[in-house]
Homo-oligomer: A and B are copies of this chain.
């Protein structure tokens, strides 16, 4: 008999399309347009499908409380501006970042192919999701892509005492011969904010060099980080200045360059329940065919092989690929209670 150490909550396997449709229905019932609902549902269902639970259905309550607070415009129609042969701006008009991106993605791809490189600068946008879904589709079309988004002040600059930067992730994707794109998505903070909350609930100490308390002193107490404290940039004792510099770069590229708010530059105190940062996002797409012909995807594949030969047993993004294949074959695993709650939110009274 299997050795069971703790009872597992009962789970169900939900077909991906059913999960996506349910999420779209939830968004639309809670204040978004049908167009916005479709984009957000696609993003959120994809994260759950790939096992990126912190950005999957776990986010739904935050989306809904934010929509209810009036902080974000779930019906915003993004305004695309074709600025130059290699540059596009999108004013998200206080809406979500993903619909703003969707409105300009085909133009970005066309510009990257024509010019070799192009950028998409999104401003006045709310990004509350994983960042890798913003770059992976570009790599699936043969482009190299980089995305940067700033968020909300919860990270202390290196050597400082007060939170200023967001968790400020950087995502990268590259096409790879003989396999899916090579993708990573990393916060420039020591930890994701959600992981601090989980540690606080479980009473677990944080690793060293992750956070400070309200007085700016180093702490491993997750509650102290949450109660007026802050996270540190990633990199630890010797490399924190590097994580901090990268986080600063994200502020400059995602906010200053786009015209969006800095992570410390918005005031949501008048909107209790608001959880989504109102900032900006930068996406850069490069056509490797312009500089290195068809060889790029082969060389990407060769690097992956060399990394495996050097003993790196798991390449970036590989775990997501495995979970994705499993979810598409057998359905997306969801705790039964969570699935019931989603159906309730979607107004499916017969469940």
Q: Which residues of A contact B (CB under 8 A)?
A: 83-87, 89, 114-119, 121, 144, 156-164, 170, 172, 174, 182, 184, 186, 190-191, 207-210, 216, 234-239, 241-246, 248-249, 251-253, 255-259, 262, 264, 284, 286-288, 290-292, 295-296, 299-300, 302-303, 306-307, 309-314, 316
B251 touches A303 (CB 8 A): yes
Indicate if the CB atoms of A157 and B119 lie closer than 8 Å.
Answer: no
CB of B238 within 8 A of CB of A239, answer no
Besides the known contacts A85-B114, A245-B316, A256-B303, 7 further A-B residue pairs in the complex with CB atoms under 8 A apart: A83-B290, A85-B115, A86-B86, A156-B311, A162-B311, A209-B238, A248-B303
B85 touches A310 (CB 8 A): no
* 10 A-B interface contacts by CB (under 8 A): A85-B116, A87-B290, A161-B311, A163-B310, A184-B248, A184-B249, A256-B288, A256-B300, A257-B291, A262-B306
Docked complex Cα distance between A255 and B296 (Å): 9
Majority SS of interface residues in chain A? mixed
Contacts of A89 in B (CB 8 A): 291
Partner of A307, one of B248, B258, B314: B248
Q: Is the CB of A144 within 8 A of B291?
A: no
A267 to chain B, nearest CB (A): 15
When C-beta atoms are compared, the residue in chain B nearest to A184 turns out to be: B245
Q: Closest chain B residue to A296 by CB distance?
A: B256
Known: A251-B303, A300-B256, A306-B164. A119 touches B119 (CB 8 A): no
- Complex CA–CA separation, A54 to B174 (angstroms): 33
Q: When chains A and B are docked, how far (Å) is the Cα of A236 from the Cα of B242?
A: 12
Q: Would A209 and B236 be within 8 Å (CB), given that A114-B85, A117-B284 are in contact?
A: yes
Minimal Cβ-Cβ distance residue in B for A299: B256
Partner of A286, one of B119, B191, B216: B119
Q: Which residues of B contact A119 (CB under 8 A)?
A: 116-117, 286, 291
In the bound complex, residues from chain B placing their C-beta under 8 Å from that of A287 are 84, 87
